Structure 1
């Protein structure tokens, strides 16, 4: 075989090998264009999550569609959007029910939120003095 033909063949094979390896993606594409937002919300009687008696747990998915076992997932996701995922601000929201008043009894209720919000891992815990305050201050997100 002539040297010129051998160089042309080697160059062609080398180009095909490099172009073939560059055409495959380095990592797979994400399954969705939306960052995951899947949360588990729990409530219990007590001052902190470690010692509280569990009362209820619900799920909330706020990705492309709002789903979950939360009684009102659409409003709950809207509340989370309103505070831009800052769960500490979530307890300061007011309920849509004007004129609702709570007693000053102390029967602590703890709420936890764990999971992923817009692609960021969250782990939140807040204690309310009683369940009425939880229902009025947490708006829809904590009303379950």
Structure 2
């Protein structure tokens, strides 16, 4: 399960979004800063210990993506920004890529601003292939 952003971080991100007047810009384009989180897929199934301990919970990883210009801690920032720009800021979009029907859930979250507009996105995908097909490079980290 993904937890919500700490109130202080969410406030800082939302304060970066304008409430009136023009959006902040970098090089002529409104600012884009997103905090992206991926949880899962679950670790490979392991044999239980004699004590019956369960496998570890899926790992969660988070990066900051900035666009216009591309940057932040995202390893594929340019591709992720290009995918967001192509979809006019939509994180999830239609895809004709076929993925195997294997349930290995991946939860994702995107919070922040895209070109000055607030973004709050959370979704669970059936597996990593489905995630990549529907979100492109946005969560490829």
**Taking structure 2 as the reference length, what is the TM-score of the superposition?**
0.62
Mapped pair 1:58 → 2:63: yes
Does structure 2 retain, via aligned residues, the 8 Å contact 1:42–1:54?
Answer: no
Equivalence for 2:80? 76
| Greater Cα radius of gyration, structure 1 or 2 | 1
Mapped pair 1:105 → 2:129: no
Structure 1 counterpart SS, 2:29:
coil
Equivalence for 1:16? none
Equivalence for 2:49? none
Q: Which has the higher contact order (CA 8 A, sep 6+)?
A: 2
Residues 102, 113 of structure 1: alpha-carbon distance in 2 compared, 3 angstrom cutoff:
same
State the alpha-carbon separation in 2 of the partners of residues 81 and 31 from structure 1.
15
Does structure 1 retain, via aligned residues, the 8 Å contact 2:40–2:107?
Answer: yes
Mapped pair 1:35 → 2:30: yes
Q: Which has the larger share of helix? A: 1
Gaps of 5+ in 2: 1-20, 42-56
- Count of residues in Structure 1 that have an aligned counterpart in Structure 2: 103
Cα deviation, residue 104, structure 1? 1.4
Mapped pair 1:125 → 2:130: no
Structure 1 counterpart SS, 2:84:
helix
State the alpha-carbon separation in 1 of the partners of residues 134 and 113 from structure 2.
23
**Taking structure 1 as the reference length, what is the TM-score of the superposition?**
0.60
| CA shift digits 1:31-72 (9 cap, x unpaired) | 7543111001101138xxxxx955211111013x11011111
Residues 78, 93 of structure 1: alpha-carbon distance in 2 compared, 3 angstrom cutoff:
farther
| CA shift digits 1:18-37 (9 cap, x unpaired) | xxxxxxxxx9xx67543111
